[in-house]
Amino acid sequence: MSCATGSKELISHTAEFLLKNKPWLVLTGAGVSTESGIPDFRSPGSGLWQRYDPMEVLSTDTLFRDPETFYRVGFYILRQFKHARPNLSHYLLAEWEKRGLVHTLVTQNIDSLHTISGSQRVLEIHGHLRTAHCMRCEKTVPLDRVEKEVDGGEIPPKCQCGGVLRPDVVLFGDLLPSCFEEAMEFARRMPLLVIGSSLQVSPANFIPFAAHQVVIVNIGVTPFDARSDYVLNGKASEILRGLNEEMKKQQPTV
């Protein structure tokens, strides 16, 4: 089924479906953070990858071959994400976890906004911007230290052991952390609610294929729409607010 945001009937049916099949796994993408002022990657006209080539600025190849470009351009892009604050979607997802509606939240986002807004069980399959590690001795340091070194002209930033420091985000060319396998396992066991992702990037977009039931909340179309049980097109905060009100109406005790 699919519809535009305004369809109260679809919000009501989706809320009924979600209540009947709780708890769910949630998969979020950059679209859940655009209302916090962080641009997403592929929205026509505003997406970051309309302006930069990710393979050129945020890949492991660039980190090793051209650390100047990596730290001057790619790292600069990432640092913009650090100052955003959670929006209504983040807070509702944290509340839904407390109410036993969300089992676990898998995010492709590196902005930590789900953790900051109170979600406890968060799988950051593309890493995060809180720390960096040395590629020689593997020591972990706060990302602020790397920012200070880069701002002071130390490129690439170095560890005391002389090794190069790199942020703990998953770059193009990296393998995903082990929490990706955990996410796939959860997807096999419960319905999946996808919010704010174009589902263009693998292996994150394998997750919906593992799920038996899928609900998508997104402004744009995704390659998975036709296979989903419900597709609600529109702004995440508006749709999640609508679902929240409808779920409270249908089951006030949840």
Q: Is residue 46 a contact partner of residue 38, using CB atoms and an 8 Å limit?
A: no
* Shortest distance in whole angstroms from residue 102 CB to ligand APR: 17
Binding of residue 104 to ligand APR (CB under 6 A):
no
Q: Is residue 30 a contact partner of residue 46, using CB atoms and an 8 Å limit?
A: no
Binding of residue 112 to ligand APR (CB under 6 A):
no
Binding of residue 124 to ligand APR (CB under 6 A):
no
Binding-site string for ligand APR from residue 215 to residue 254, where x marks contact by CB under 6 A and - marks none = ---xxx--------------xx------------------
Binding of residue 15 to ligand APR (CB under 6 A):
no
Indicate which residue of 83, 126, 128, 212 is catalytic.
Answer: 126
Report the relative pairing of strands 214-218 and 165-169 from DSSP bridges: unpaired
Binding of residue 126 to ligand APR (CB under 6 A):
yes
Determine the length of the chain: 254
Interface residue with ligand APR among 26, 40, 134, 180 (CB under 6 A) is 40
Query: Is 212 annotated in the active site?
Result: no
DSSP string, 140-154: EEEHHHHHHHHHTT-
Phi, psi of 44 (to 5 degrees): -55, 125
Total of residues contacting ligand APR (CB under 6 A): 23
Q: Is residue 128 a contact partner of residue 110, using CB atoms and an 8 Å limit?
A: yes
* Shortest distance in whole angstroms from residue 124 CB to ligand APR: 10
Which residue has 């890949």 as its token pair? 59
Q: Is residue 217 a contact partner of residue 239, using CB atoms and an 8 Å limit?
A: yes
Binding-site string for ligand APR from residue 167 to residue 206, where x marks contact by CB under 6 A and - marks none = -----------------------------xxx-xx-----
Phi, psi of 190 (to 5 degrees): -155, 165
- The three-class DSSP label of residue 180 is helix
Q: Is residue 231 a contact partner of residue 4, using CB atoms and an 8 Å limit?
A: no
Interface residue with ligand APR among 15, 22, 29, 97 (CB under 6 A) is 29
Active site members = 126
Give the binding site for ligand APR (CB under 6 A).
29-31, 34-35, 40-43, 47, 54, 108, 126, 196-198, 200-201, 218-220, 235-236
